[in-house]
């Protein structure tokens, strides 16, 4: 027996429907099976072609009417006799694998494109980090130079302070010496005045 089964609904593509039916066909020993995604206006459809012993085909049709993938939304199932050739299941399996591979190629190309963008952004980030490190090095050099100048200023201040202390010491000693001499001279003058009777 050969049958064409049309599964029509708002969501029968992209939900693993064909793989779901293929799994059943393989488990139940079908040799001829084919399923094609079709578009009927705004509605999605799957055309299923099955060939096998009458009883097995009837059980397959019952399965299609009573079971569907989790996310599928079916509105109509039509079963009609089919006169054409039904692909060998092994050939359909190869076709399905090729179709899935074909769908995967744009995704792989998209991933490669995204990877290139990520690498470009990483290169830009590394350039920015390199520039940042250079600027930090420049800032450290400026801070180091500033620190050296501060050390020089502190050294100069220390020298100046030491000079001032030395000058004050010298000045103090000199003034002390002059005061001592003046006191001695005053005492000599007083004594002379006293001897001359000018001072009492």
In the chain, the number of structural domains is 2
- pLDDT of amino acid 66: 95
Residues 112 and 70 in one domain: no
Gap between the Cα atoms of 76 and 67, Å rounded: 13
Q: Residue written as tokens 């990520």?
A: 118
Tens digit of pLDDT for each residue in 8-54? 999 999 899 999 999 999 999 999 999 999 998 889 999 999 999 99
Is 94 within a domain? no
Residues 81 and 135 in one domain: no
- pLDDT of amino acid 200: 59
Domain boundary among 54, 87, 120: 87
Low-confidence ranges of the chain (pLDDT < 70): 104, 199-200
Tokens matching residue 32: 């001829």
Q: Name the residue range of residue 67's domain.
A: 2-87
Gap between the Cα atoms of 80 and 59, Å rounded: 15
Domain boundary among 87, 115, 135: 87
Alpha-carbon dihedral 184, 189, 194, 195, rounded to 10 degrees: 100
Gap between the Cα atoms of 61 and 81, Å rounded: 12
Give the start-end residues of each E strand in the chain.
2-9, 32-40, 43-51, 76-81
Gap between the Cα atoms of 116 and 128, Å rounded: 18
- Kindly report the pTM of this predicted structure: 0.55
Q: For the domain that residue 58 is a member of, what is the CATH number?
A: 3.30.70.100
């Amino acid at each position: 027996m050969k049958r064409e089964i049309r599964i029509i609904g708002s969501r029968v593509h992209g939900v693993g429907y064909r793989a779901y039916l293929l799994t059943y066909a393989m488990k139940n020993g079908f040799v001829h099976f084919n399923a094609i995604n079709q578009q009927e206006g705004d509605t999605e459809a799957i055309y299923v072609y099955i060939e096998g012993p009458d009883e097995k085909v009837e059980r397959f049709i019952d399965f299609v009417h009573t079971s569907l993938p989790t996310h599928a939304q079916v509105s109509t199932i039509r079963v009609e006799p089919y006169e054409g050739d039904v692909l060998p299941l092994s050939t359909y399996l190869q076709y399905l694998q090729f179709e899935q591979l074909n769908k995967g190629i744009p995704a792989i190309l998209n991933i490669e494109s995204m990877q290139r963008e990520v690498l470009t952004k990483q290169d830009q980030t590394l350039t920015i980090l390199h520039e940042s490190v250079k600027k930090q090095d420049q800032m450290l050099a400026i801070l180091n130079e500033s620190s050296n100048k501060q050390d020089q200023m502190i050294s100069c201040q220390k020298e100046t302070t030491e000079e001032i202390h030395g000058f004050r010491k010298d000045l103090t000693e000199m003034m002390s010496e002059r005061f001592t001499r003046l006191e001695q001279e005053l005492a000599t003058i007083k004594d002379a005045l006293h001897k001359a009777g000018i001072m009492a």
